[in-house]
Structure 1
Amino acid sequence: MDNNKKRIIALIIFLLGIFMGAIDSGIVSPARDVIKNGFGISESLSVWMITIYTLVYAVSMPIVSKLSDRYGRKRVYIISILTFAIGSSLCGISNFYGNYTFFLVARVIQAIGGGGIMPIANAFIGISFPPEKRGTALGFVGGIYGIATILGPTMGSSILSTAGNDHWGWIFFINLPISLIILALSINLKENLGEAKSRMDLKGSVVLSIMILSLMYALTNLNFGDLSKSIQDTKVYPFLIIFFIFVPLFILVEKKAQDPILNLSYFREKQILLTLILGFITGVGLMAVTFIPQFAENILKLKTGTGGYLVTFMSVFAGVSAPLGGKFIDKYSAKLVTVLGMICTAFGTFFLAFYTTKYPNFASIMIGLIFVGFGMGFTMGTPLNYLMLSFVDEKESASALSTLSLIRSIGVAVSPNIMINFISEAGQKVQGNLMAVMPKITIPAYPGAGKTTIDIAKMSSGGKLSSGALAKLQSADATNIVSVIKDFAGDMIDKIIPGLKGRMMESMGNMPKGAASHIDFNKIFSGLKADYLNKIDAKKEVIEKTFQSTISAGYKNMFITAGIIAIIGLVAALMLSNKKKIKAKNI
């Protein structure tokens, strides 16, 4: 078999691994409530099925990657695939046998395997393909990773729809045939590097693991919208303290290590540091995409849960631009592709912020998503992996790429806590803004008093709303906001009628004896509720626009922030050099 065929088979092996590992980060999200209900656990406990995977994945990346640099990438990659397959099998089995603790242990095993897949695959491809084809090969990696990451939640929902909620284990069993194909194809794969001349940096591995765990857990629980209060939370500040205490200890340990787990020189060399900064920025941008389905649902008045298809469209654009960017790298430079990606991302996010929110329609949102999709494809790994490999010795390629992945993971951890605050702030304004455009309740005239009106906005702020009606209002979308408001108003009117009757009786107390006995209170209040609900129907368009504009204001600020981050990334990209020094290694 010639080298070209070997490289194609190797590319398939690693693309399958990357696809399998990438979809798993999102495929569990839509199943979380289903799994939670299956185990009968609380909401707070259910979060750990995702959190524990994220934490262990982040910890395992640098350690497993270092092992692959020392003992051989093929060997460690195959072990990673096996570990991931075993963890996936155990996760699926826990659907039928086992408990939540068993399931979390299985997720840990799965994360350990997953942590070795991405950096090893990128390193193997990066030094195995000749310079004139390397960008194209890494481009396919970026495309597959982008598509898999974005489609993960959609695939999870599809599997649940097919297998049924009682058989959620199939979202994990789906990994088994992919793993078997990878293992079968790996038989003829040639070993790639592997030098174990010095001791493994065990001390550094332990200290780095503690640092990563404490930082990632703190960032996951940090609320940037209320930073001063959030940082005092026991789920945040103790772990930040641990992180900062261990930083100087880690530096001391790594300076003495013969073969450090993390090369500190990466943070001293300008070009590598710029690449790591860009990795953090792309991590932040990647997670901002998770809010696009909700944004689309609000803009296009779609029912909650149906906006995911637009993410599918965007993944197509990302999937096309990633290999295209790889070809541009081969022909021009990684710097050019990175700059182009940041420009597309900035334009797309600013377009969504300033144009789509003002002119909410399918065409306007698609234009923005096309540019964001192309921006993601151009920046999601391909040029950054290429740059990272060009700045380090090939013997450190896997550990260098794991460092980049780790920094990107930190960006992923930070992003939701930043972005969600804009949406939450908008959500808090919904009730007040809607009440401001609500019609007033008109109380019919009765003996002793003329016609009066009641401002429902003042009443709703007085805490007279039932928790059920308030919950419906908070979970409303653009398609049902009017019906929810009608339930809201009906609940309010039911609450105030007894009080109004009481005040009427009191005001009639000074009337001549017997004068109030013939007053029919039921007649006075009959039709009051129906008339008011009809007034709400008449203001349907105003209410819907108010709801949309209020929510869109939150998304607008979020996209502006994402655009500013992309501009910072553009500045960093312009400071990159076009240095190339990667040598191809035969497979």
Structure 2
Amino acid sequence: MSKDKKRIIALAIFLLGIFMGAIDSGIVSPARDVIRSSFGIGESLSVWMVTIYTLAYAVSMPIVSKLSDRYGRKKVYVISIATFALGSFLCGVSNFYGNYTFFLVARVIQAIGGGGIMPIANAFIGVSFPPEKRGTALGFVGGIYGIATILGPTMGSSVLNLAGNNHWGWIFFINLPISLIILALSVNLKENLGEAKKKMDLKGSIVLSAMILSLMYALTNLNFSDIVKSLRSSVVYPFLIVFFITLPIFIVIEKKAEDPILNLRYFKEKQILLTLILGFITGVGLMAVIFIPQFAENILKLKTGNGGYLVTFMSVFAGVSAPLGGKFIDKYSAKLVTALGMICTVFGTFFLAFYTTSNPNFISIMIGLVFVGFGMGFTMGTPLNYLMLSFVDEKESASALSTLSLIRSIGVAVSPNIMINFISEAGKRVQGNIMSVMPQISVPVFLQGKSAVRTIDISKLSGSGKISNAAISKFQSADVTNIVKVLKEFAASIIDKMLPGIKAQILRQMGPTSKMAPHIDLNKVFSSWKADYLNKIDQKRAVIESTFQSTISSGYKNMFIAAGIIALVGFIAALMLENKKMRVKNNI
């Protein structure tokens, strides 16, 4: 078999593995409520099906990658794929047999396998392809990873639609045929490195695991909108204390280790540190994408769930730009591609923030998403992986890339907690802004032979009686497409609660000797009044929808501004990089 054919097979093996591992991080999201219901667990407990995977994945990456550097990348990659397949199978089986605990254990097994796929695949490709083709090969990796990450939730929804909610296990079973294909093709792979002469850093592995677990869990639970109160939470501060205690211990252990699990030199050398900082920034940017469907739904007045189609379009641009960026690396430099990606992201996010929010239409949002998509594709991993490999010895390439992936994962963990605050703050203003444009209630009060009109502010009337939790919940979860309908239901609920009190007030005003005019039917009067008020809400539909849309958009505007500033920091960091080429042997 020719070397070119071997490289194509190797690339296919790793691209399939990366695609499978990347989609799994998001494919569970749309199925979470379905899985929660099938196990009969609460909302807070259901979060663990995502959290436990994230934690186990982050912990396993540096350890599995180090094992691959020591004992051979082909061997450990194949074991990782098999482990991931086993975990996927057990997750699917738990749909029919087992309980939630069994499912969580299966997710941990799956995550351990997944933790070895991405860094090993990147390292294998990085040292196997000749320098003139290496950027292009890594570009395909970035493209596949970006597309799979973005499409994960959409694929999860599609599988549920086809198999049905009662058969959610199929979102995990689809990994099995892909895993079998990878394992079958892997027989053609040549073993890549493997040098276990030095003592394994077991102490460092244990302490590093404790560090990663404590830090990632604390960051996942941290609320940046109320940082002081959040730091006092029992799910944050104990874990931060563990992290700060284990950090100096880990540093001491690594300085003495023959073959450290994580090379401290990475954080001392300027160029490697810059690469890691850029990794963190791309992690933050990657997770900011999860809010784009809701942004698109608000801007274009789409029904909830349909905004994901625009993310699909964006993933196409990311998928195109990633291999294109790889070719640019081969021709020019990783520094240029990184800077280009960051500046595209800056322009795209600022365009969405300052133009699209003020001019909500399909063209304006697509222009912004095209630039964000190109920015993601250029920076997703290709140039950073290339840079990381150029700064380290070939024998520690998988470990170096796992460190980069770990830092990126920390950015992923922090990002939602930062970005959601901007949207939450806007959400808090929705009720007040909507109530300010709502029509006032004019309550007719009929006395004997006379009539008077009393004007009452609906925001004050809402305190009369107890509004149903269902009505309040609908109002809080409303979107721009149904806000008027929800408001009418909400107002009707309020009016129904107020009527007994209003009737009693009228009777008190009439006095014990007064009589209602014989032609007045109080029930008909109030029924007509209620219908009239709901009709007034309909007449103000455009104003209400515009107010809702602009209020929510203000939150997204601030979020995109923050994302743009972060990308601008990344652009500055990219300008400080060296134009360095990898000098490694062709090992395939």
Provide the secondary structure at the position in 2 that maps to 1:155: helix
Matches within 5 A, 1:104-123: 104-123=104-123
The 8 Å contact of residues 83 and 109 in structure 1, kept in 2 or not, is answered as: yes
Q: Which residue number corresponds to residue 503 of structure 1?
A: 505
Deviations 1:282-324 (A, max 9, x none): 0000000000111111111111111110010000000000000
Residues in 1 aligned to 2:45 and 2:459: alpha-carbon distance in whole angstroms: 38
Aligned-residue offset at 1:516: 4.4
1:571 alignment partner AA:
I
1:540 alignment partner AA:
R
1:471 alignment partner AA:
S
Deviations 1:100-130 (A, max 9, x none): 1111111111100000000000000001111
The 8 Å contact of residues 446 and 516 in structure 2, kept in 1 or not, is answered as: no
Answer with 90-99 or 134-143: which moved more: 90-99
Provide the secondary structure at the position in 2 that maps to 1:527: helix
Q: Quick one: structure 1 residues 514 and 569, their matched pair in 2 at CA, closer, same or farther if it must change by over 3 Å?
A: closer
2:472 alignment partner AA:
L
Residues in 2 aligned to 1:371 and 1:364: alpha-carbon distance in whole angstroms: 11
Aligned-residue offset at 1:405: 0.0
Residues in 2 aligned to 1:238 and 1:19: alpha-carbon distance in whole angstroms: 36
1:205 alignment partner AA:
S
Provide the secondary structure at the position in 2 that maps to 1:451: strand
TM-score, with structure 2 as normaliser? 0.98
The 8 Å contact of residues 74 and 189 in structure 1, kept in 2 or not, is answered as: yes
Answer with 264-273 or 522-531: which moved more: 522-531
Matches within 5 A, 1:36-115: 36-115=36-115
Aligned-residue offset at 1:526: 3.6
Q: Quick one: structure 1 residues 339 and 94, their matched pair in 2 at CA, closer, same or farther if it must change by over 3 Å?
A: same
Q: Which residue number corresponds to residue 128 of structure 2?
A: 128
Q: Which residue number corresponds to residue 318 of structure 2?
A: 318
Q: Which residue number corresponds to residue 585 of structure 1?
A: 586
Runs of 4+ in 1 over 6 A off after TM superposition: none
Residues in 2 aligned to 1:265 and 1:557: alpha-carbon distance in whole angstroms: 37
1:564 alignment partner AA:
I
1:505 alignment partner AA:
L
Aligned-residue offset at 1:65: 0.2
The 8 Å contact of residues 77 and 116 in structure 1, kept in 2 or not, is answered as: yes
Residues in 1 aligned to 2:525 and 2:263: alpha-carbon distance in whole angstroms: 81
Provide the secondary structure at the position in 2 that maps to 1:195: coil
Residues in 2 aligned to 1:53 and 1:555: alpha-carbon distance in whole angstroms: 28
Aligned-residue offset at 1:463: 7.6
Residues in 1 aligned to 2:263 and 2:192: alpha-carbon distance in whole angstroms: 21
Matches within 5 A, 1:130-149: 130-149=130-149
Deviations 1:407-444 (A, max 9, x none): 00000000000011111111111111111000001112
Residues in 2 aligned to 1:397 and 1:564: alpha-carbon distance in whole angstroms: 31
Q: Which residue number corresponds to residue 487 of structure 2?
A: 485
1:120 alignment partner AA:
I
Residues in 1 aligned to 2:80 and 2:54: alpha-carbon distance in whole angstroms: 16
Residues in 1 aligned to 2:506 and 2:86: alpha-carbon distance in whole angstroms: 73
The 8 Å contact of residues 58 and 115 in structure 1, kept in 2 or not, is answered as: yes
1:577 alignment partner AA:
E
Q: Quick one: structure 1 residues 111 and 521, their matched pair in 2 at CA, closer, same or farther if it must change by over 3 Å?
A: same
Provide the secondary structure at the position in 1 that maps to 2:442: strand
Q: Quick one: structure 1 residues 238 and 463, their matched pair in 2 at CA, closer, same or farther if it must change by over 3 Å?
A: farther
Residues in 2 aligned to 1:554 and 1:108: alpha-carbon distance in whole angstroms: 35
Matches within 5 A, 1:211-226: 211-226=211-226
Residues in 2 aligned to 1:128 and 1:176: alpha-carbon distance in whole angstroms: 27
Answer with 467-476 or 15-24: which moved more: 467-476
Provide the secondary structure at the position in 1 that maps to 2:197: coil
The 8 Å contact of residues 73 and 124 in structure 2, kept in 1 or not, is answered as: yes
Aligned-residue offset at 1:9: 0.8
Q: Which residue number corresponds to residue 236 of structure 1?
A: 236
The 8 Å contact of residues 282 and 379 in structure 1, kept in 2 or not, is answered as: yes
Q: Which residue number corresponds to residue 4 of structure 1?
A: 4
Q: Which residue number corresponds to residue 570 of structure 2?
A: 569
Residues in 1 aligned to 2:514 and 2:309: alpha-carbon distance in whole angstroms: 68
The 8 Å contact of residues 143 and 323 in structure 1, kept in 2 or not, is answered as: yes
Aligned-residue offset at 1:143: 0.1
The 8 Å contact of residues 430 and 548 in structure 2, kept in 1 or not, is answered as: yes
Provide the secondary structure at the position in 2 that maps to 1:550: helix
Aligned-residue offset at 1:458: 2.5
Aligned-residue offset at 1:460: 2.9
Residues in 2 aligned to 1:162 and 1:517: alpha-carbon distance in whole angstroms: 63
The 8 Å contact of residues 446 and 524 in structure 1, kept in 2 or not, is answered as: no
Answer with 518-527 or 394-403: which moved more: 518-527
Residues in 2 aligned to 1:515 and 1:213: alpha-carbon distance in whole angstroms: 74
1:550 alignment partner AA:
T
Aligned-residue offset at 1:445: 4.4
Q: Which residue number corresponds to residue 432 of structure 2?
A: 432
Q: Which residue number corresponds to residue 453 of structure 2?
A: 451
Aligned-residue offset at 1:541: 0.3
2:79 alignment partner AA:
I
Provide the secondary structure at the position in 1 that maps to 2:511: helix
Q: Which residue number corresponds to residue 538 of structure 1?
A: 539
1:528 alignment partner AA:
W
Deviations 1:10-53 (A, max 9, x none): 11110000001000000111111111111111111111111100
2:531 alignment partner AA:
A
1:219 alignment partner AA:
L
Matches within 5 A, 1:177-576: 177-447=177-447, 450-460=452-462, 464-509=466-511, 513-516=513-516, 518=518, 520-576=521-577
Deviations 1:354-413 (A, max 9, x none): 111101111111000000000000000000000000000011100000000000000000
User: Where does the alignment leave 5 or more consecutive residues of structure 1 unmatched?
Assistant: none
Aligned-residue offset at 1:501: 1.3
The 8 Å contact of residues 127 and 582 in structure 1, kept in 2 or not, is answered as: no
Provide the secondary structure at the position in 2 that maps to 1:534: helix
Residues in 1 aligned to 2:514 and 2:323: alpha-carbon distance in whole angstroms: 89
1:558 alignment partner AA:
M
Residues in 2 aligned to 1:264 and 1:67: alpha-carbon distance in whole angstroms: 18
User: Where does the alignment leave 5 or more consecutive residues of structure 2 unmatched?
Assistant: none
The 8 Å contact of residues 464 and 497 in structure 2, kept in 1 or not, is answered as: no
1:230 alignment partner AA:
S
Aligned-residue offset at 1:581: 3.2
Q: Quick one: structure 1 residues 262 and 461, their matched pair in 2 at CA, closer, same or farther if it must change by over 3 Å?
A: farther
Provide the secondary structure at the position in 1 that maps to 2:452: coil
The 8 Å contact of residues 302 and 479 in structure 1, kept in 2 or not, is answered as: yes
Residues in 2 aligned to 1:378 and 1:101: alpha-carbon distance in whole angstroms: 40
Matches within 5 A, 1:6-45: 6-45=6-45
Q: CA RMSD in A?
A: 1.2
Aligned-residue offset at 1:279: 0.1
Provide the secondary structure at the position in 2 that maps to 1:96: coil
Deviations 1:498-555 (A, max 9, x none): 1111111111227xx3444746433442411000011011101001101111111111
The 8 Å contact of residues 389 and 582 in structure 1, kept in 2 or not, is answered as: no
Provide the secondary structure at the position in 2 that maps to 1:442: strand
Matched-pair identity in %: 80
Q: Quick one: structure 1 residues 463 and 21, their matched pair in 2 at CA, closer, same or farther if it must change by over 3 Å?
A: farther
1:553 alignment partner AA:
S
Answer with 498-507 or 323-332: which moved more: 498-507
